[in-house]
Amino acid sequence: MTSPSRTAVALVDFDEAVRRYDPVLGIEVHVELGTNTKMFDGAPVTFGAEPNTQVTPVSLGLPGALPAVNRKAVESAIKIGLALNCEIAPLCRFARKNYFYPDVPKNFQTSQYDEPIAFDGWLDVELSDGEVVRVEIERAHMEEDAGKNTHVGGHDGRLQGAEYSLVDYNRAGIPLVEIVTRPIPGTGERAPEVAAAYVRTLRDIFRALDVSEARMERGNVRADVNLSLRASADSPLGTRTETKNVNSFRSVERAVRYEVSRQAAVLDAGGLVVQETRHFHESDASTSPGRVKSDAEDYRYFPEPDLVPIAPSREWVEEIRATLPELPAARRRRLDGEWGFAEAEMRDVVNAGALDLIEATVLAGSSPATARKWWMGELARVANAAEVAFEDLAITPAQVAQLQALVDSGRLNDKLARQALEGVLAGEGDPESVAAARGLEIVSDDGPLLEAIDAALAAQPDIAEKIRGGNLGPIGAVIGAVMKATRGQADAGRVRELVLERVQG
């Protein structure tokens, strides 16, 4: 949907904008926890279920229904708080956030207000070139997700303006943790990249903690991006806008870029940035003003009288801390040390998303260097050509390790290994069976090699003469001919030895 106000927006070139203004970010991330049931009732939370089949009286806000807190969700919230270096509140409460909207059946969202379960943390975010930005975390609090509205009619004229919405409450009540940063200053031209890297770092942490599947495309992780500009780092903070529900790393980056360009144009024209929520549009990477709600900020929060306070004992918190898994950044550092990759190599591996696969390949028996060579070389080439992710390639780390074992044992050379890989990717089976079925095996028996060498030397008699005269250059031509004759299945080193014996001996 394009409105006139959107097409008429003035923009300043991004590079120009960050030369003259200092952007300040603030990011709110919602993560849906991967519990079996909802935050306050036992309704299941299976993704993709039929509408309104995962609801209880609590999810529907029926009169008299009483909520009860999911212990697992609290545990997950504490895990997230600890992973983000937060303090865990010794006592905190839920609060009602009151507003009317059809996806909130109770007419309030059960959230936390002035007493979040976790607060005062930080997260180090590593950028693509290795620079680390420390993001301060203001708070992480627990709340519940809303249902899902589908807007029908009107725009396409089918119902002649009789617009209405259909509501599915399966998602209403799914546990969420909302993580709020403090203002992030000093990112300059890297603001878009920092914003995306922060959300990606959080996503990786959620997965490592096993608190959520954290699948962006399913909306498990959603970001609201706040941005303001100021004249310089010494100036007071400017007026910010909040772009809601930006749901991919790329969109986070583009939303920040757009707002920097747009706000710079507003300020250049002597205008004032309006504090408002904005929508992000994937189609052209723009943002537009959200609905103006006159009572938007008047949520009349008050403590939820149907729930008693949460007071996590220090013992419980320490128990959870002790069982936290190794977090992604620490794991990267450890693997880097174990593998001995160069700094740039390791960064490429991380940026390509190949870390897990290489680790699994190494665990399956390959050396780190060969595992890296396969994934970052041939397999990256295949994945790029097919425009798919590594995970979508029809090969497992164990199969890559098996392929490398065939090379290490001398049964395949690099060229044959690539052919075997092709077979594996085509679904022909394990490297071992592909090699057998395709007849891929280095010819190590000297007989057929000598036959091919003799044929090659006979075809070009001057070559033997040159070699005998001490000019070893032409030997490559003989090896090439033998390779061709054996369809690449010869061991080049052995061929070389045999040629020299033949000519000189």
Partner 1 sequence: MPTFNSEEVARLAALARIDLTPDELTQFAGELEVIAHAVEKVSELATADVPATSHPIPLTNVYREDVVSDVVDRDAVLAAAPASQDGKFLVPQILGEEA
Q: Residue numbers of the site for partner 1 (CB under 8 A)?
A: 1, 35-37, 41-44, 50-57, 60, 68-74, 91, 93, 98, 100-102, 150-151, 153-155, 163-169, 279, 291, 295, 298, 300, 303-305, 307-312
CB distance 30 to 221 below 8 Å: yes
Supply the minimum distance, in Å, between the C-beta of residue 352 and partner 1: 36
Q: Which amino acid is at 136?
A: E
Report helix, strand or coil for 468: helix
| Side-chain half-sphere CA neighbours of 480 within 13 A | 6
| Residue 292 vs 322, nearer CB to partner 1 | 292
Cα 213 to Cα 220: distance, rounded to the nearest angstrom: 7
How buried is 322 (Cβ within 10 angstroms: 0-12 exposed, 13-18 middle, 19+ buried)?
exposed
Supply the minimum distance, in Å, between the C-beta of residue 261 and partner 1: 22
Supply the minimum distance, in Å, between the C-beta of residue 282 and partner 1: 13
Q: Could you count the other beta carbons within 10 Å of the beta carbon of residue 468?
A: 10
> In 3D, which of 365, 393, 385 has the Cα closest to residue 375?
393
Supply the minimum distance, in Å, between the C-beta of residue 172 and partner 1: 11
| Residue 2 vs 384, nearer CB to partner 1 | 2
| Residue 164 vs 501, nearer CB to partner 1 | 164
Supply the minimum distance, in Å, between the C-beta of residue 35 and partner 1: 5
| Residue 67 vs 423, nearer CB to partner 1 | 67
| Residue 115 vs 430, nearer CB to partner 1 | 115
CB distance 158 to 145 below 8 Å: no
Supply the minimum distance, in Å, between the C-beta of residue 270 and partner 1: 29
| Residue 89 vs 184, nearer CB to partner 1 | 89
| Residue 149 vs 275, nearer CB to partner 1 | 149
Supply the minimum distance, in Å, between the C-beta of residue 277 and partner 1: 12
User: Could you tell me the two tokens for 281?
Assistant: 């549009």
Cα 130 to Cα 12: distance, rounded to the nearest angstrom: 29
CB distance 310 to 69 below 8 Å: yes
Pairing of the two strands 132-144 and 241-246: unpaired
Per the listing, tokens 């002035």 go with 114
Q: How far is CA 481 from CA 160, 410, 464, 491, in A?
A: 76, 21, 14, 13
Q: Could you count the other beta carbons within 10 Å of the beta carbon of residue 26?
A: 20
Supply the minimum distance, in Å, between the C-beta of residue 422 and partner 1: 46
CB distance 489 to 445 below 8 Å: no
| Residue 12 vs 246, nearer CB to partner 1 | 246
| Residue 54 vs 413, nearer CB to partner 1 | 54
Supply the minimum distance, in Å, between the C-beta of residue 192 and partner 1: 24
Cα 266 to Cα 218: distance, rounded to the nearest angstrom: 35
Supply the minimum distance, in Å, between the C-beta of residue 435 and partner 1: 48
User: Could you tell me the two tokens for 379?
Assistant: 């397999």
Supply the minimum distance, in Å, between the C-beta of residue 1 and partner 1: 6
Supply the minimum distance, in Å, between the C-beta of residue 66 and partner 1: 11
For the residues of 95-158, what is the DSSP string, one character each? Answer: EEEE---TT-TTSEEEE--S--SEEEEEEEEE-TTS-EEEEEEEEEEEEE---EEEEESSTTST
| Residue 309 vs 480, nearer CB to partner 1 | 309
| Residue 36 vs 275, nearer CB to partner 1 | 36
Q: Could you count the other beta carbons within 10 Å of the beta carbon of residue 303?
A: 14
Q: Could you count the other beta carbons within 10 Å of the beta carbon of residue 61?
A: 16
Cα 496 to Cα 185: distance, rounded to the nearest angstrom: 63
Q: Which amino acid is at 295?
A: D
| Residue 51 vs 185, nearer CB to partner 1 | 51
